[in-house]
Each structure stands twice: as C-alpha cells, then as structure tokens.
Amino acid sequence: MQLVDIIVKNGWVLTMDQDSTLIEKGAVAVKGDRIVEVGLEDVLVCRYGVGKTIDAQGGIIMPGLVNTHTHAAMTCFRGLADDLPLMTWLEDHIFPAEAKLTEDMVYKGTLLACAEMILSGTTTFCDMYLFEDAVAEAAKRAGMRALVGEVLYDFPSPNYGPMEKGLTYTEDLIEKWQDDPLITIAVEPHSPYLCAPDLLQKAKAIADRHRAPMVMHVSESEAEVLQLKEKYNKTPVEHLAHIGFLDPKLIAVHCVVMTEKDMDLLKAFDVKVAHDPESTMKLASGITPVPQLLERGVTVGIGTDGCASNNNLDMFQEIDTVAKVHKAQTLDPTALDAQTVVRMATIDGARVLGLEDQIGSLAPGKKADIIVIDTSRPHLTPMYNVYSHLVYAVSGNDVVTAIVNGQVVMEDRALMPLDVDTVMEDVNQIAEDIVLKVNRS
C-alpha cells in the first residue's frame, strides 16, 4: 500500500479539469506538495495509507481560488477614502497616503490580507504594490502562493526612489525569489498613463530576459482613455500594441473601456485579463465587457483589487458579482453561467497568471492547493447544483479548510501560520498612525 500525507475525502470533488469532472463521494490524495490521485473515496481509502485524513463531511472539495489582481497591503487603507471618482480617489487620497508607507507597514498589511484571503478560500494571489519584497515575505510566512511585482512609475517611488532604481529592484526580486516554491515575480509598470514608452520598453526587456509575467492597469476609465488619445491619438491598447508591449505574458487589469479593435488586439496578442468588477463599480469606472472578451477567446480571471477600492478580499463575493453584473448589463440571464464563472476563479485564473500547469484544477501531478467548503448550513440547503451554490449561495465564511502546496494552512476555520488577533492589532495601530500623518501633512 502506497503511503500519502493527506487524504481529503467524503465530499463533492470539483476537479475543474477540461471536462469539469464532478465526483460525488470523492477524495483527493496528497503526497508532499502534489496531488497523487483524484477519484472515488472508496477506491482511494483502500489504495493509500495516510498520515492525515480531512473529512469534508459531504461538502465541496475544490481547487483554491485564484485572485488575479490585488494590492494586498491596502488593507491598511480599507475605508480611508470612499465614494470618490477614480482620479480624485487616487491622486488626492491614495497617493498621498502611500507616500507615508514603510516596508514594515506593507509587511503587516499583507499579513492581514493573507489571513483574509485564506479564510475566504483564496490560495493564490497576484499583487501589485510597493515594497513587494515585504509582500513576498508575508505571503511566504502565511503559506500562500503569490505572483508579486513592484509597481513602476515615471515619478519617484516611496520605496526605491527614481525610476531606474525600480527596474533594478525588480531584477533583484527576480533573482532573490527565482527558486521559491510559492513566490513568483512579475514586472509591473502601473499603467500607460503613468509610464512613458521608454519605461514600458525597459520593463518589457526585463520580462523578456527573465521570461517573467507582466502586470499593468489598462483602460480602467474613460478619463484614462481620453488622456491617452490626447497624448498619442490612440486608445491605451492601441498605444501598447504600437510600442510592442502587448504579449502573451501580459496581464491587463480592468480593461473596462474597450473598443472592438481593442478586444481584437488583446486576442491577437493572447493578452490575459484580470476582471475586478466590485472595484470598478464602486469607483464608477464601468464594467469590463467580459462576455465579448470570452466570445473572442480571451482568457479572463477574477480579482478583488485592493481593500481601498473594494473593500474586501472575499473572492466568493466577487464571483457572485461577476455572474450577476453581466446579466444585468446585457439583459441576458444566460450571460456568464455559474460553471463559467467558477472556471474563471480557478483554472482560468491560473492561466491568467501563467500557472495553469501547477494549480487551478485537481489532477495528479499538480500542486496540492485545495479548499473545503462546509455545505451543511441553512443557506446552502438543499443543493441541486454545485456550481450554482458556489456562485450564488456560498460565502467566504463557508470555507473551513485550506491546503497550499500540500501544507494545511487552515483547518476548521483556524489559521495555522498566523496569529490573527496580533495581525489585526498591528494594522489597527498602522491605521492610527496613518490618520496622524495625513492630518499633519
């Protein structure tokens, strides 16, 4: 009898494989950091000796959720400046607050984000922010998988100073974390309106040299598009195509204001899209034309954005919004069915990050990133359709167990690597300091 480290059993197993195979009374066997087998519980229990058994008690066993875009340390700014237009919010409130950031604040804010994400079913996130080495360190401590990158601007950063040092900082991150099992580094210029073509071309050269992903906010609002048209006589997507920046490694975030040509260009260059509906709705930027992108074959994942513009990191809440907002916008109840949206939050999210060979589905040889959802609750009874439940009924609080890279990071709602009370206390202290600093300036 072969020995494995963990068997998760007695649940509905959503594999999220190509056929969206669903196994009733299924189980997943894990050895080390990888899945050994997925199948019927009776078969796997007889086949393997096991060190630890996790009983899903008839719930749902599925891949951990993939948050394709966030700014984790913005937990420090949750609720700081709400109900404002994007540019006012960004330039009058967020940038001044970020100027006061320190590496320690980013580290502690990210720990809080990781706690929130694990507790609501996210096992992988893609981050764009400042002091990203601290973000990587915090994710590593929390046991989360993360794609992270330092945000690059034309103007000086509170972290690295002038632009050229930002490029050096990015390459240093790539070198430091290149062999880590959980952390991957991306090259992340902020946006076409805050990054001149010279910076974008230098950033892409680094990404090409290291075969690294790229992340950028693209066409987030009408104001951004008008600004680029005035400057270059092109939409942001057309501008990026013109300078040779569009690439299969590029994760274009938001993509709210899209022309038909823009969407065709994203498909032609196999650009991936991160869709963050709650953030763009709250900032009144608009709604990404996801059905039209999917019709073209563009890969789209789901993200929460940061806590200053959402204001939470619950991917199940985001999933619910994704499914409903496009029905309302198109007046079509069949737009983005539940199964499609679950795929966007798992295997398609993994594709967006370039990690589909490792995560996003439950299959032998893949990394063991698994969550368990307790369905024995009033709001989840009865259950006719698993996908429908996940999109329209489940909340982050229903996630009871999370495994990342073969390690149990949450069991019975208890986080293993982090003391949540201490993490929350640290960020509350940071919030007090932020208010004092902003009021003085």
Which percentage of the chain shows pLDDT scores above 90?
Answer: 90
The full set of domains in the chain, from first to last, is 2-63+368-415 (2.30.40.10), 65-352 (3.20.20.140)
Give yes or no for residue 90 having a pLDDT over 90: no
pTM: 0.96
Segment 161-184 mean pLDDT: 96
- Each residue of 318-345: pLDDT tens digit? 999 999 999 999 999 999 999 999 999 9
- Under a CB-based contact definition with an 8 Å cutoff, are residues 391 and 60 in contact? no
Structure tokens at 224: 């951004």
- Give the helix ranges, DSSP H, for 276-364: 277-282, 290-296, 315-330, 338-345, 347-352
Segment 291-308 mean pLDDT: 97
Give yes or no for residue 146 having a pLDDT over 80: yes
Burial of 193 (0-12, 13-18, 19+ CB in 10 A): buried
Quote the DSSP letter at residue 187.
B
Compute CA 112 distance to the chain's CA centroid, rounded to the nearest angstrom: 15
Nearest one of 358, 429, 438, 416 to 104, comparing CA atoms:
429
- The Cα–Cα gap between 303 and 104 comes to 25
- Under a CB-based contact definition with an 8 Å cutoff, are residues 121 and 316 in contact? yes
Residue 145 bridge partners (DSSP)? 124
- Under a CB-based contact definition with an 8 Å cutoff, are residues 74 and 27 in contact? no
Nearest one of 339, 356, 335 to 290, comparing CA atoms:
335
Segment 242-264 mean pLDDT: 98
Written as one string, the DSSP assignment of 278-301 is: HHHHHTT-----HHHHHHHT--EE
